[in-house]
């Protein structure tokens, strides 16, 4: 475990715990102890989704349910949470088992994002709903201030499919070209093909799903802008 006191982290999130043990638990990965942050993550995830949904409901009064759902998903997904964790330098505070430390657990998106949700859950238990809501709004202040249009948030595979259908073209197919890396840290390279079109695009990312999205985005760019196809890197 990290021996340094967590007061600087409390200063960073602008919340001082009455029970610091809750923060310690929120920073403890399951690789360390049976008493870890998984339950707090479950709680924090629910609170986060509710608070963000409530904010979007107020900020976008004209948007239908589907658009609000896409906006919420763009804010509470693993990538966004991991980015917030990195802004807080949360990886420096995590309590990880030796295996996770050696394999780069302090930088892993899944671990970082879970820790943010765990801290939200811990703040809720320590200070109540209003404290956890205030924390979420602080963490998401910039993202909420620059919300995109919901139409921009359709994932690349959906946008590509809609484009192809509107132009009466065949639907895309995806093929895994190679998988590299160890089981806990794999990288996928995927190609995207459209029958009848002499274009192949590729995407590389930390999951097959994300690699397919990257390849689809590259294909859509090619079809709409007629630019050269290049392999694109994506973050899981």
CATH 1.10.1520.10 occupies which residues in the chain? Answer: 7-148
- For residues 111-140, average pLDDT: 98
Question: Binning pLDDT at 50, 70 and 90, where does residue 226 land?
Answer: low
* Mean pLDDT, the chain, integer: 90
Catalytic residue chosen out of the listed positions 25, 41, 45, 221:
45
Answer whether residue 3 shows pLDDT above 70.
Answer: no
Question: For 156-233, CATH number?
Answer: 3.30.160.20
| In the chain, % of residues over pLDDT 90 | 78
Q: Which CATH superfamily is domain 7-148 in?
A: Ribonuclease III domain (1.10.1520.10)
Answer whether residue 133 shows pLDDT above 60.
Answer: yes
Whether 45 is catalytic is yes
Answer whether residue 236 shows pLDDT above 60.
Answer: no
Buried b / exposed e along 106-130 (16+ C-beta atoms within 10 A): bebbebbbbbbbbbbbbbbbbbeee
The pLDDT tens digits for 7-58 are 899 999 999 999 999 999 999 999 999 999 999 999 999 999 999 999 999 9
Looking at 18-90, which runs of residues are DSSP E strands? none
Q: What are the structure tokens assigned to 120, written together? A: 């939200």
Integer angstrom CA distances of residue 120 from 32, 47, 73: 20, 8, 17
The pLDDT tens digits for 57-98 are 999 999 999 889 989 999 999 999 999 999 999 999 999 999
Whether 162 is catalytic is no
Place of tokens 């986060």: 48
The pLDDT tens digits for 169-223 are 999 999 999 999 888 789 999 999 999 998 999 999 999 999 999 999 999 999 9
Catalytic residue chosen out of the listed positions 25, 117, 212, 221:
117
Alpha carbon of residue 229 to chain centroid: 27
Return d(Cα 29, Cα 111) in angstroms, integer.
8
The pLDDT tens digits for 137-154 are 999 999 999 998 877 777
Return d(Cα 54, Cα 51) in angstroms, integer.
5
Cβ neighbours of 93 (radius 10 Å): 22
Return d(Cα 31, Cα 28) in angstroms, integer.
8
Is residue 167 classed exposed, middle or buried when 0-12, 13-18 and 19+ CB atoms within 10 A define those classes?
exposed
CATH 3.30.160.20 occupies which residues in the chain? Answer: 156-233
């Amino acid at each position: 475990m990290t021996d340094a006191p967590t007061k600087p982290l409390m200063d960073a999130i602008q919340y001082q715990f009455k029970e610091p043990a809750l923060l310690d638990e929120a920073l403890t990965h399951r690789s360390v102890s049976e008493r870890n942050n998984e339950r707090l993550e479950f709680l924090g995830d629910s609170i986060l989704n509710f608070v963000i949904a409530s904010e979007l409901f107020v900020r976008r009064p004209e948007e239908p349910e589907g658009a609000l759902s896409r906006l919420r998903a763009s804010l509470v997904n693993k990538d966004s949470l991991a980015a917030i964790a990195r802004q807080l330098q949360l990886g420096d505070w995590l309590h990880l088992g030796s295996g996770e430390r050696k394999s780069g657990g302090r930088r892993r998106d899944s671990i970082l994002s879970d820790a943010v949700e765990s801290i939200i859950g811990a703040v809720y238990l320590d200070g109540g709903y209003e404290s956890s809501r205030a924390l979420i709004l602080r963490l998401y202040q910039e993202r909420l201030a620059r919300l995109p249009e919901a139409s921009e948030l359709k994932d690349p595979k959906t946008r590509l499919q809609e484009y192809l259908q509107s132009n009466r073209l065949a639907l895309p197919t995806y093929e895994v070209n190679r998988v590299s890396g160890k089981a806990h840290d794999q990288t996928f390279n995927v190609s995207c093909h459209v029958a009848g079109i002499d274009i192949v695009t590729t995407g590389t990312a930390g999951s097959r799903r994300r690699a397919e999205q990257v390849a689809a985005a590259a294909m859509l760019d090619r079809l709409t802008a007629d630019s050269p196809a290049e392999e694109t890197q994506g973050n899981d």
